[in-house]
Amino acid sequence: MKALRRLWARRSAPSLRVLMVCSGNICRSPTAEAVLRARLLGARLDGLVEVDSAGTHGFHQSEPPDPRAQAHARRRGYDLSELRARNVTPADFQRFHWMLAMDEGHLGWLQRNAPASATARVELLMRHARRRRDTLEVPDPYYGGPDGFEQVLDLVEDACDGVLDALRAELAVAVTPASGDRKA
């Protein structure tokens, strides 16, 4: 255990990078970013995986997440207040290992706009859901009421649990349920 921690301490950059993607980067993708960060922190893998979010369109460039998204996330213990909207860039397709789209429209946009040199795996976030395997997309809550933001959190939490499992497998790290200790 001590040797493994020393090895991790020497790492200067995360082993894996995940980018959450939606339209304007003010509701779904920042929520997914915050949820996955919290899951990684809870699993003590936060230093090994970098998480970010971006939008396919620059509707809200440099703006904080929607106040409703922030309020609902805060009630569940997630802080979105420091996040700012940005666009997906061509460099993201090389920088990130995974680009996880919130819906089919974003997935198609990412696939169409990926440069020839892209190395990122582009897929739907909900592909990783554990309980809601029949749900393919995280619906946009922007034009709806409070229930939409709660639904986003429910779906994203479920999918991020699955993403965490996939990241553990990629990192070849398992966490024992009883103690939370890392094992190689």
pLDDT of residue 1: 41
- The residue extents of the domains of the chain are 2-6+18-183
| Number of neighbouring beta carbons within 10 Å of residue 20 | 32
CATH of domain 2-6+18-183: 3.40.50.2300
Both tokens assigned to 69: 């998204």
Q: Looking at 17, 44, 127, 140, which residue is catalytic?
A: 140
In this predicted model, what pLDDT tens digit does every residue of 80-136 receive, in sequence order? Answer: 999 999 999 999 999 999 999 999 999 999 999 999 999 999 999 999 999 999 999
**Separation CA 63–CA 59 (nearest Å):** 9
Q: Which of 22, 52, 92, 103 is catalytic?
A: 22
123 vs 104: CA distance, rounded Å? 9
Count CA within 13 A, CB hemisphere, residue 165: 11
Contact 129, 152 (CB under 8 A): no
Q: Is residue 154 annotated as a catalytic residue, yes or no?
A: no
Say whether 27 is catalytic. no
Catalytic residue (choose from 27, 28, 66, 168): 28
